[in-house]
Amino acid sequence: MKLYCLSGHPTLPCNVLKFKSTTIMLDCGLDMTSTLNFLPLPLVQSPRLSNLPGWSLKDGNAFLDKTELIDLSTVDVILISNYHCMMALPYITEHTGFTGTVYATEPTVQIGRLLMEELVNFIERVPKAQSASLWKNKDIQRLLPSPLKDAVEVSTWRRCYTMQEVNSALSKIQLVGYSQKIELFGAVQVTPLSSGYALGSSNWIIQSHYEKVSYVSGSSLLTTHPQPMDQASLKNSDVLVLTGLTQIPTANPDGMVGEFCSNLALTVRNGGNVLVPCYPSGVIYDLLECLYQYIDSAGLSNIPFYFISPVANSSLEFSQIFAEWLCHNKQTKVYLPEPPFPHAELIQTNKLKHYPSLHGDFSSDFRQPCVVFTGHPSLRFGDVVHFMELWGKSSLNTVIFTEPDFSYLEALAPYQPLAMKCIYCPIDTRLNFIQVSKLLKEVQPLHVVCPEQYTQPPPAQSHRMDLMIDCQPPAMSYRRAEVLALPFKRRYEKIEIMPELADSLVPMEIKPGISLATVSAVLHTKDNKHVLQPPPRPAQPAGGKKRKRGSDDIPDCKVLKPLLSGSIPVEQFVQALEKHGFSDIKVEDTAKGHIVLLQEAETLIQIEEDSTHIICDNDEMLRVRLRDLVLKFLQKF
């Protein structure tokens, strides 16, 4: 059993597990931090950006984090744990010869599609007349100013995929539900479990009859909108692969939400605008819910909230229809019937308005001061670029970063100097290390495998021993482009016996509770299933019209000698010998057992734990007599 680690990013994992005869890819996250090396893509020509000296505007490019460690066309299935971890899917399904199936839950696919659509839309709506790629050449890259010249593996950076590729990739997905058991080639069974992090987010169990591997990725124990995490089903795992922990282990999400609300209120009260760069799904639902409760108490009822994204409408509506994937509270609301999320009411009362883009209705409705939620959190493309240009000059305005994926300082770099206030309150609801240690105590896997980042404190806080995974035995760590041999061996395989064969068995009890029977059968293996079938009867001797077919294949069925079990009590054996007329018997103890010497007959009986030898000189009669005496002490079946 091997694990191929294709991504070094702990929260955007991409691992391939070879288990029995299957090759399973676990997630395919897309690390987009390389976009921070590019200039923002403005919606309107920005004189400031276009007048920069030297390098002209570049495409938004993406960085696919993988290597030639494994031939991706051999991957049988891809298991997706949440919508953030499937963003590289088109690169794999469309360009590698992949012919397998992708498994994911319905919300994951739907919201994943929204995220991809938004990404493609953001990039494609600002087409470039020309594109440059020569700089990817190492010799040229060396000449570029820092930090560009220090960027690693620039050659693996890819252009953003197209909508066509997205559609084609998504068509290869098969929808699954929590706890559904999916057979892969009869060899292993995979099951998604609720992970509590996002709508439809899942952990996966990959198990055969005797082995169980759990894949935990992006899980949360906090009470937010999704269904709570299923921990019980993770118990008794041989290996637990642990990825997708919180990126900001020192920030408590509750405190951050409080910080978010306070800063938002302070800005708006002073007549400033608030910009929240965010993804169109996920934490935004929780933020809107908090604001729903908060705005009245803070006297902000008149402040408009704008949500601008090509997929804003779909995202808000999708969230309301996936009731079965929501936490219990929200599920019960549906039966009232009420919309599970309160943002429906915000929309109804016109407090929250959503628009596909800046153009059109938005420009006529736009009223300040206001709060704008829009993408992309990297500040490199999307409508957020426009708002940064628009509001950056006034110190009344505030940009509040809530997504932890990008360094906010790097994201802001091209907009400097900036008068606008910047608040960083990253909200990451994924497991922190305290929760992980509780989880591991509860679940008790035999082995834990995790990215190497989790096995040591963060470099900036090297004394925080609490910010790492602490378990026994110590977790095995992996890094990018590493192949791990998972530390356990498969020892058993399940074999079925056909009923008629089972019928013919005559078990014999050799010890209380243990019965044995010998089986003669043909082992039939197909689709990774092993079946014992009755041996074919010898062919009819004559009269059969059918041709003798296959009789050549039939193995010779010899009459089997019975199997023996038990041990020989030496004293009783000697008495029996004496009874049968042997005399002058001498017993010697050896390291392994005993030697019985029949001096008169010049015969030696060597009794050991697992063998008995009768050594006599060409006297077959004597040997058979002695053999029968020995056999009397043993059980036969």
Partner 1 sequence: MDPECSQLLPALCAVLADPRQPVADDTCLEKLLDWFKTIADAGSSLLLLQENPCLVTLLCPVLKPQDLSPRVLAFLLRLAGILAAQEDCFQHLQQGDLLPRLFGEAGPLGGAAWTAPTVRSGWIQGLCSLTQHPSALCFLAHSGAVDTIFSLQGDSSLFVASAAGQLLVHILGLSMQAPAEGHPSLQPAHWPACAQKIVGHIEESLRATATPQVTQALNVLTTMFSHCHDPWTQVLWVHLSPLVACLLEKDPVPAAHSLVDLLLSVARSPVLSSSSCGLWDTLAQTLSRLRASQAGPLALGILKLQECPKALRAQAFAVLLQPLTCVLEATTQAPGLPGSVGGTADAPLTAGMLLPSKAACVGLLCQTLAHLELLQPLPQRPSPWPWAPLLSAAVTILRLCNGSATPTSDTGTHLCAFLAGCVRVQRAALDFLGTLSQGTGPQELVTQVFAILLEYLTSPDSSPTVLKKAFQATLQWLQSSPKPSGGGDLEPHAQLFLRELLPVLPKRLCSPCWDVRDSGLEFLTQTVRRWGGQAGFRHALLASEVPELTEQLLRDPESYVRASAVAAMGQLSSRGLHIIPASPGHPGAQQKSLLEELLHILSTDSEGFPRRAVMQVFTQWLRDSHADVAADTEHFVARVLRVASQDLDWEVRAQGLELALVFLEQTLGQPSSSCPYAMTPPAAAPPSLVAQALQPFCRVQLFDFAFRALFDCDRPVAQKSCDLLLFLRAKTASYSDQQGSSSGPDVASLEAALQRWQAGDQGQPLGDLEPEAVVAVLRSLDLEGLRGALAESSDHAEQSPLSLLQDMLATAGILGENEADCY
* Closest approach of partner 1 to the CB of residue 9, in Å: 24
Strands 274-277 and 305-308: unpaired
- The answer to the question of residue 299 lying near partner 1 (CB under 8 A) is yes
297 scored as a contact of partner 1 (CB under 8 A): yes
Q: Which of 46, 74, 189, 263 binds partner 1 (CB under 8 A)?
A: 263
Q: x-or-dash pattern for partner 1, window 458-487, by CB under 8 A?
A: ---x-xxxx---------------------
| 204 is an interface residue for partner 1 by CB under 8 A | no
Q: How far is the CB of 283 from partner 1 (least distance, A)?
A: 16
Asked if 262 touches partner 1 (CB under 8 A), the answer is: yes
| 454, 10 Cβ separation under 8 angstroms | yes
Query: Between residues 209 and 438, which has the closer beta carbon with respect to partner 1?
Result: 438
* Sequence letter at residue 409: L
| Short-list 160, 218, 164, CA closest to 34 | 160
CA distances from 162 to 113, 121, 124, 292 (A): 12, 9, 8, 37
Distance CA 607, CA 570 (A): 8
CA 582, CA 613: separation in Å to the nearest integer? 18
Contact call for residue 452 and partner 1 (CB under 8 A): no
Name the strand (E) or helix (H) holding 254.
helix 253-269
The residue (of 167 and 250) whose beta carbon lies closer to partner 1 is 250
Which H or E element spans position 25? strand 22-26
The piece of 53-61, 111-119, 253-261, 552-560 that touches partner 1 (CB under 8 A) is 253-261
**Nearer to partner 1 (CB atom), residue 460 or residue 514:** 460
Binding-residue pattern over the window 275 to 294 for partner 1, x denoting contact by CB under 8 A: ---------------x--xx
* 572 makes contact with partner 1 (CB under 8 A): no
Given the rule CB under 8 A, which of 196-204, 264-272, 383-391, 554-562 is the region that contacts partner 1?
264-272
Q: At its nearest, how many Å lie between partner 1 and the CB of residue 458?
A: 11
x/- letters, 161..190, toward partner 1 (CB under 8 A): ------------------------------
The string of DSSP codes covering 276-338 is: EE--SSSHHHHHHHHHHHHHHHTT-TTS-EEEE-TTHHHHHHHHHH-GGGB-HHHHHHHTTT-
Q: Residue 287 burial (CB < 10 Å; 0-12/13-18/19+)?
A: buried
Could you say which residues in the range 209-228 bind partner 1, by CB under 8 A?
A: none
Q: Closer CB to partner 1, residue 199 or residue 251?
A: 251
For residues 343, 347, 349 and 351, what is the CA-based torsion angle, rounded to 10 degrees? 90
Q: Which of 182, 298, 497, 604 binds partner 1 (CB under 8 A)?
A: 298
Minimum gap (Å) between residue 437 Cβ and partner 1: 10
Kindly indicate which of the ranges 249-257, 335-343, 476-484, 593-601 contains the residues binding partner 1, using the contact rule CB under 8 A. 249-257
Shortest CB 97 distance to partner 1, Å: 48
Rounded to the nearest 5°, which phi and psi values hold at 216?
-105, 120
Instruction: Count residues binding partner 1 (CB under 8 A).
Output: 30
Find the shortest distance in angstroms from Cβ 22 to partner 1: 40
Q: Is 162 exposed, middle or buried (0-12, 13-18, 19+ CB in 10 A)?
A: middle
Among 296, 442, 578, 602, binds partner 1 (CB under 8 A): 296
Residue 375: how many CA atoms within 13 Å on its side-chain side? 25
Q: How far is CA 575 from CA 29, 93, 250, 481, 586, in A?
A: 77, 78, 80, 71, 12
Q: Under the criterion CB under 8 A, does residue 250 sit at the interface with partner 1?
A: yes
Q: List the one residue from 69, 126, 266, 574 that touches partner 1 (CB under 8 A).
A: 266
Judged by CB, which is closer to partner 1: 396, or 585?
Answer: 396
Closer to partner 1 by CB, 123 or 256: give it: 256
Q: Under DSSP, is residue 56 helix (H, G, I), strand (E, B) or coil?
A: coil
From the list 112-120, 237-245, 269-277, 307-315, the region that binds partner 1 by CB under 8 A is 269-277
Q: How far is the CB of 272 from partner 1 (least distance, A)?
A: 12
What residue type is 267 in one-letter code? T
User: Among residue numbers 371 through 430, which ones bind partner 1 (CB under 8 A)?
Assistant: 425
Closest CA to 402 of 380, 423, 371: 423
Nearer to partner 1, 101 or 437 (CB): 437
Cα–Cα distance measured from residue 99 to residue 111, given in angstroms and rounded to the nearest whole number: 24
By DSSP bridging, strand 61-63 and strand 77-79 are: unpaired
Nearest by Cα to 356 from 317, 306, 309, 305: 309
Measured from the CB of residue 511, what is the shortest distance to partner 1 in angstroms? 44
Which residue blocks in 70-124 are alpha helix, DSSP H? 89-95, 106-124
CA distance 155 to 136: 6
Q: Can you tell me which of 169, 199, 265, 278 binds partner 1, judged by CB under 8 A?
A: 265
From the CB of 472, what's the least distance to partner 1, in Å? Answer: 15
271 binds partner 1 (CB under 8 A): yes
Q: Is 510 in the site for partner 1 (CB under 8 A)?
A: no
Residue 149 interacts with partner 1 (CB under 8 A)? no
Q: Report the side by side order of strands in the sheet with 305-308.
A: 352-355, 305-308, 371-374, 274-277, 398-401, 421-424
Q: Alpha-carbon distance 461 to 534, whole Å?
A: 66
Rg of the Cα atoms in the chain: 35
Q: Which is nearer to partner 1, 263 or 407 (CB)?
A: 263
Omega within 30 of 0 (cis) for the link into 47 = no
Query: Does 270 contact partner 1 by CB under 8 A?
Result: yes
Any contact of residue 269 with partner 1 (CB under 8 A)? Answer: yes
- Shorter beta-carbon distance to partner 1: residue 135 or 366: 366
Given the complex with partner 1, which of 242 and 295 has the nearer CB atom? 295
Residues that bind partner 1 (CB under 8 A): 250-252, 255-259, 261-263, 265-266, 269-271, 290, 293-294, 296-299, 425, 434, 461, 463-466
